[in-house]
Each structure stands twice: as structure tokens, then as C-alpha cells.
Structure 1
Amino acid sequence: MNFLSLLLAVLGSSASLAAPTTSAQNATVDALVYALPLAPYVSFANTGSVVNASNDFVTNTFAHATTLANASFRTVVLPNTDTLYSAALLDLSAGDVVVTMPDRELGRFYVLPFYDLYGNNVCSIGTVTNSTAGKYLIQYRPSNAACDLIPDAGDEYAGTISLPTVYGQILLRIEVFNSSDVDDIVSTIQPHFTLTSLNTPSAGAPPLTSALLNDNLAVDNPSLHLLQLLSRVASFNPAEEASDAEHVAATLEAAGISASSQSYTQPPDLDLASAYTTALNLVQQVPSNPANLLPLGSSAPITWSTTLPSLSGDFHTRYDLRAYISISNAYPPTQLHASHLDPPCFYANQTYMVEFSGKPDVRGFWSLTVYDGEGFLIPNALNRYSLGDRANLTYSDGTPVYDGNGNGAGGDSKAFYMLLQSTDVEVATEWESNWLPTPADGAKFIFILRFYGPTLSLTDGTYEYPKVTAVDANPPLPISE
């Protein structure tokens, strides 16, 4: 079991809230909440990056996926199945980096988001915000994140992205129209997204290496592992908000983290196990806090909601929300680009019918994707993991909802249906096009509804969100009106 799996296993277990009793105890709780996003970053670096002949990270270079995510994909949890990923580890320790963005193909959606070490989406360029082709400068500005998408005076750069941490990452997503479209993206689009390191003054930080993130850390103790890891990187990867940097530094010092020696020493009388339990409970309470959510409609057994736009993607000083999002929904872009709607877990020994009131109105694309209880795609004979505007969805009379390329993505109020049913049960002919396989043997599953380029209708109450109903296997297909 890797460290992230161990962490998620602990998060998923029950834990009683323990009251901290000392200032070191309080500081350690805060330090652990602050450090939790490091776990998915390390997992991403270890599984999603390219390595060289010495089995070390290759930084500031895109690793382009050449196939869509499937049931064997483990680079990130809750992956998209309708975009091709291109991932890069950013290391600004040796100086600035330039990202080149090619001309956008008309009608194709993509988003190029830049994340700091702790999972904050500091900047995104692409179809919605800024599709200007050219070079963008990526620089390290400690505790001063910025996303300046205005060309510089000499027109050398179309914009400047200032990361508040010396390490970060990029997770480019390019829309795929259909399965035959993949080869074209791989050969004609991906190669034109490039990263180039510049010979600029060093940031004074060590290079981003596998040894830095992995060597000589506690393996079987997640709390100790996190604090040791944070001690190595905190001094040159400070808090995003300059106004909070001094407070965070003092908190980490009180927790036993030395900025000068990049080491961790457990304070005397600290109950580390209790501090970790408290930290996890604080993070687990985030999704149940209505102050964090924008309600979008309710239809038993679910209530549709998404993270408030002000808290979406870039979390500033909300370290509890940052931790929850980072470990449960790795690296979402800001809500301007994507709105993720997360219902609770369901069970595969129950069939569910999802009724859409009409086509969601989006500027990009949308999809509903099913995952197992760990956030990975579900094996099935059709290799079908999601349905949306580029699928062969049909109305009840058999006519297509879309043309297979996502055309006609909004404005139609005619109802259509999806069936979430276990791979243990043979699906009825009339449901074949609209069937999403759920796990065999009664295992838990979740599903996520994603909108890329959501319009106002999806957040202002105009659009009626899907109704999810528990039904018998292969129920009669409702008649669309």
C-alpha cells in the first residue's frame, strides 16, 4: 500500500474527535491539515511523471498521455475519460520556465491549469479565459501568486504566471470528440504544447528530485511522514497568501518543523496520534459544511451542490478545504472551467435511473462518470466509463440526443435518461446506448457530473438538475415528452 492509499484508508475510517491540550498540540493539528495536500502531489510525481535513466524525475517537460483513461489508469483519482491528459512537474529552483501554447483548433475545448505544490489552481489558460497562442512565462514569487494574462510590453510573452511555491505542476486536459480523434490529438496538437527552462537566477532551493520527496521518510506512519516531508519543503514553498506567511511559519515552528535545517523534531508531550485524528476530523467535516457549498437542486436521494466559486480551485487560506479537495478530487481546475457535482456513495446491487430534464448548456462539454469506492474507473466489457455530449445517448424513441461530436450542447429541454446498473446484470436492449456499468458484487461506487465551460444557467437555478431514482434492473424506458 503506497502512502496516499494509506492516508485515504485512514480518512475513510471512523475516528473520534480528540481535543488538543497544548500549543504544540494545536500547532501540530494545523500543520497536518496544511501538509495533507503533499500526499497527492507525491503520488502524482511518483506515478504520473516521466523518469530518466537514473529513475529520477524529469521536470519541466510534458508527459503526454496517448490513450484515454481506462480502468487501469492510476495517475490521478477521479480521472476524466473524455480528455487526454498531459502532465508536467514544475521545478522553478533553477529559474523561470516558459510554456508554449499553440493556436486553438476551432470548436475544441482545452484547459491548461497551473498548480502550486499544495494544489492551488493559481492560473488557467485555455478556451474559456485566454486562448491566445504564444509563450507564457512561469516564475517563482514566494507568497505572491498571480495570473497576468496581458502581453508584456515587448510582446515576448502573452502572459505571466507567478507561482507562490518553487515546485508545482501542470495537468493539461484536451477535449476528445470521439475515439478516432485520439490519434489526431497525439500527432498534431500535443507536441505543440512545450516547456522550456530559462537561464535565470536560481531560487536558492534544491532541485525537485525523487530523493527529496521519498527518501528517509517514515513509511508506515502517515502523520510522521507528512511532518517530515513538510519540513523538507516548507521554507521555499511558503503559504500562498503573503499576509498569512508569517503565521504559517510560526505555526510550523511550534509544531517542531525547523525552517533552517529542514527537519522535524517531535515536541515533548505531543500526542501525535491524537493530533492526526483531530486533523482528519477537521478535513472530513468540510463537505458537510453548508458554508462551503453552492446548492444546485435536490432530488432524493441526493442533493446537487458544488464548491462555492470563491473557494473553487484556489483556496487561499482555507487550508481545510484545500486538504479535502486535494485528497478527494485531485487537482480540479477553477469553476470557470469545470463544475464538479459530487453525490454520495451508492451500491452496485441497486440499479439507479438518472433523468435529465434536458441538455446541459455548456461552452465546452459535459459528462457523467462512474467510479469505484476508491475513485478509479470500473472494468467492464464495453470499456465504457462515462456518458455525455459525445456519447451515443438516445431519447426514449431511439433518436440520438447528440451527433457524437457534442454538437447541440444546450438549449434542448427534452428529457433523456441514463441507467446505472451492475455489470453482473445483462442490460436490456433499449438501455444499451444509455447504460453506465457499475461494479459487480455489490461494491460501492460514486458518480460525478462535470461541466466544462458551465454557463450561468447551471448555477443560477435555471437548469433542473437530474433526478436519481432507485429502480429494478432494466426498468421500462420512460417516454420522453
Structure 2
Amino acid sequence: MSSARSNLINAAISSACMVLMLGPSMAKAFEPSIPQLHAYKVVHHADYLEKTAAEAGGTNVLLHTKTLPTEGTDPVVTPALDHLYTKAVVDLTNGPVVITMPEVPEDRYFSIMVTDQEHYVIYEEIRPAGRYVFVHDDWSGEIPDGQKINNRSLYPHVFIRTQVKTPDDLPNTLAIQDQISIEGEVGTLGFEDPIAFTLDTHNVYGGNQGILEPDMAYSAEDHQRMFEWAGEYFATSITDNTGMFGPIDSNEPGSNDPRVRAAAIVGHLGLPVHHAFYTGIFNNCDGELLNGSSPYKVTLPYENAVSEFWSITRYSALTRNTLPDRIDVYNAYNTSPNDDGNIIVTFSAEAPNDGTYWMPVNEGEPYYYVERFYGPDIGNVEMTLDFCS
């Protein structure tokens, strides 16, 4: 099959069989309302905050992942496998909180991202260093020294990513994690109604006022339907992360579309597109959903127009997570270019034994893959799409 994806990121970020020809949409069980779209975001995120705080041992406690999420059990949807996570539910109920970040070498990706309770990214930076002071908008007391980050939420979420280049590089990543610190009163987080909790602890943006109500009828069944809707909408209407994760006033196309924002939960806690460019590929070049019953090849250039690094990772479409005991990720650190300057990845249930890089999938099961490009040269992105031929 001779096919090419769009020449994105200055004609470098491409794959030979990226599908932009979408197959027939599955019958929708329902068309969600704007309140349901918004509820899906805040309920998922609130539940995530509660679980993360419990796992960490409280709010204002750093939770480090020490191994790459290869076993299919990570609470993050569609987790990346090219860095370790450091997470914290920041608790501003008793005043400002300080997170101190170490300096890292220029050749290692290291970033901080802050997300509010409506799932908008309010701050992000590559290779942060020094003191970052989290302050709630309603706080009127003393503010410690450091770079101030204003928050509408009493419980913002901090997501720190520290690159792991290869398994042998893991000790270097762990050493960086050990240098991150947080100063704030440790608390607990629990609630019965995630919507009421969000309204009580977050200053809702003006444009979203009145969408959610404390007594909104949003059930577990509604949430499951939204989960299914988001997966379908992502697979049939989304080609990359443009408009999904930035601030509410982002000028990215689609950022004001509540469907795009809700579909972003498929990649919960993703980065804005100028920081990292993601593609989500569910279909093959014939518009059919990817399935382990049919081998599939993808070609990527080894050199890309990125200031940081690139990777390609595969996930189960059933769980939106990794597959246990499988190879899950390829990047410039565990591959070498062929004579054409590319790498070829084969998705198949059986090893291809043809010199390509094998990404195992389960026979008969649907899957998808994500290409991530950190520090993309967005200024040179070409939005002219080359369809399969």
C-alpha cells in the first residue's frame, strides 16, 4: 500500500499510512448536550483528583511513577511511555503552595503543566527551574517568593514529565524526580458529588456559567455513554490535539468547541499543541478501524522538526491503555534510520521478521496509536493533507 500522511511540522512529521479518510461512523446512541459534554470533563477530572490524592497519601503530596506504564493499569488515559510522571493535587484551601523544580540538562525533556478543575491547561513550561508559587485568586494573605501561578481552582493538578530515553536511562530520571519538592499543608480529598464539588471549589469561567448545576442529573450510566461517545467522536472527527488542552481563551482551532474539549478526555491531561503535537490514529488507509487481525505498517522519518523528541506508542482501543508484556513505544533512542532516513513500524499479532520494528497487537482486537512530537515547529506546520492513494 503506497500512502502518505500530511506533511505536518515542516514536512517532517509524517507517517506513510496516517488515515485522514474516515470510515463510516457507527450509529450514535445519543447526541450529548453541552451540559453533558462539560459534565463529562469535570466528573472525570474530579474523580481522577480524588483517586490521585488518595494514592499519593494526601493533597500537596508528590506522587512519582517509578516505572513506565507498560502494564495497562495506569490511571492516566492513553499514557505516554517516553517519560515518568510526577503528579500532585495541589490544595490551596490553607494558602499558597510552593513547588521547587531542579535544573536539568538541555538534552533532556522536563516539563511542568498545571490543569484547572474544568480541564483547561493554565500553565506549562519546558525545563522549569526554581520556586513556583500556587496562589488561589481569592487569597489575600502573604505570598511566598517565587514565580506566581494564579489559580481559579482550590485543587489545581500539577503534572511533571521527566524524559526516559531508554530503560538504561531510568536511574537518571529517578534522580531528577528526587529533587522535586512541594511545600504545603497535607490534606485529604473526598466528595459524594463530583459536580457539586467542582462548583464549590472552582471559580467557573464566565463563559461556562450556568452550564452545570449542583443538582444536575448526570448518572454513572450517562458517564459511560459519554465515555463511548468520546471514543467514537475522537476516532471519527479528531486527527490531532489542536484545541483540546490549552487555556479557555486559546486561539487554536476547535478550542471553543465543547465536543473537542470533551473528546480530549480520551487523552486526559494532554499538553497544548504548541508544546506537544499528538496524532491519534484509529483507522487504516482504507478507512477501516485498526484491528490486530490485519498487519499494518507505518513509516516515519527518523529526523523530525522538533526541538525535543518524538515517539510512537500503541494502545488497546478497548481499555485506552497499554498492552501488558508487549513492546509499546519506539523513538529516536531505541531505533535507527534505514537507508531512506526512516523507520518502519509493523503492527501485527505475529512478528513480521522483515527488518521492520515490530509493535505487537492482540489478534482480533482493535487498537490505535499515537505519535507525539515534543517542541514541534508549529510555525512551519502545513495543513494541506495528503490522503491515502
Shorter-chain TM-score bucket reads 0.7 to 0.9
Instruction: Give the distance between the partners of 1:84 and 1:155, measured in 2 at CA.
Output: 29
Instruction: Give the distance between the partners of 1:339 and 1:119, measured in 2 at CA.
Output: 18
% identity of equivalent residues: 18
The alignment partner of 1:45 has SS state of helix
* Structure richer in helix, relative to its length: 1
Q: Could you tell me which residue of structure 2 aligns to residue 96 of structure 1?
A: 96
Flag the 1:65–1:307 CA change in 2: closer, same or farther, 3 A: closer
Contact 2:134 2:151 in 1 (8 A): yes
The alignment partner of 2:309 has SS state of strand
Instruction: Give 1:126 deviation, angstroms.
Output: 2.1
How is 1:397-476 mapped onto 2 (pairs within 5 angstroms)?
Answer: 414-422=341-349, 425-428=350-353, 430-431=355-356, 434-439=357-362, 441-456=363-378, 459-460=381-382
Matched, 1:333 2:271: yes
The alignment partner of 2:162 has SS state of strand
How is 1:119-198 mapped onto 2 (pairs within 5 angstroms)?
Answer: 119-127=119-127, 131=128, 133-141=129-137, 156-157=145-146, 159-186=147-174, 188-197=175-184
State the AA in 1 paired with 2:310. Answer: W
Flag the 1:312–1:163 CA change in 2: closer, same or farther, 3 A: same
How does the TM-score come out when normalised to structure 2? Answer: 0.77
Instruction: Give 1:162 deviation, angstroms.
Output: 1.2
Provide, for residues 329-357 of structure 1, a one-character-per-residue CA deviation record: whole Å limited to 9, x for no partner.
11101122211101124100111111224
Instruction: Give the distance between the partners of 1:92 and 1:236, measured in 2 at CA.
Output: 10
29, 32, 41: which one aligns with 1:37? 41
State the AA in 2 paired with 1:244. Answer: G
Instruction: Give 1:118 deviation, angstroms.
Output: 2.3
How is 1:24-423 mapped onto 2 (pairs within 5 angstroms)?
Answer: 29-45=33-49, 47-51=51-55, 57-127=57-127, 131=128, 133-141=129-137, 156-157=145-146, 159-186=147-174, 188-197=175-184, 209-210=189-190, 212=191, 215=192, 228-239=193-204, 241=205, 243-244=206-207, 248-249=209-210, 251-253=211-213, 257=214, 264=215, 287=234, 305-308=239-242, 312-316=245-249, 318-325=257-264, 327-344=265-282, 345-357=289-301, 359-373=303-317, 374-380=319-325, 383-395=326-338, 414-422=341-349
Q: Could you tell me which residue of structure 2 aligns to residue 477 of structure 1?
A: none
Provide, for residues 384-429 of structure 1, a one-character-per-residue CA deviation record: whole Å limited to 9, x for no partner.
2011111133416xxxxxxxxxxxxxxxx7333111111xx23316
State the AA in 2 paired with 1:196. Answer: E
Flag the 1:99–1:318 CA change in 2: closer, same or farther, 3 A: farther
State the AA in 2 paired with 1:313. Answer: G
Q: What root-mean-square deviation, in Å, do the aligned CA atoms of Structure 1 and Structure 2 show?
A: 3.6
Ranked by relative contact order (alpha carbons within 8 Å, sequence separation 6 or more), the top structure is 2
Instruction: Give 1:89 deviation, angstroms.
Output: 1.1
State the AA in 2 paired with 1:435. Answer: W
Q: Could you tell me which residue of structure 2 aligns to residue 218 of structure 1?
A: none
Provide, for residues 424-450 of structure 1, a one-character-per-residue CA deviation record: whole Å limited to 9, x for no partner.
x2331623xx111112x3100000000
State the AA in 1 paired with 2:136. Answer: Y
Instruction: Give the distance between the partners of 1:378 and 1:43, measured in 2 at CA.
Output: 24
Instruction: Give the distance between the partners of 2:102 and 2:133, measured in 1 at CA.
Output: 15
Provide, for residues 51-86 of structure 1, a one-character-per-residue CA deviation record: whole Å limited to 9, x for no partner.
48xxxx511111111111112432211111110111
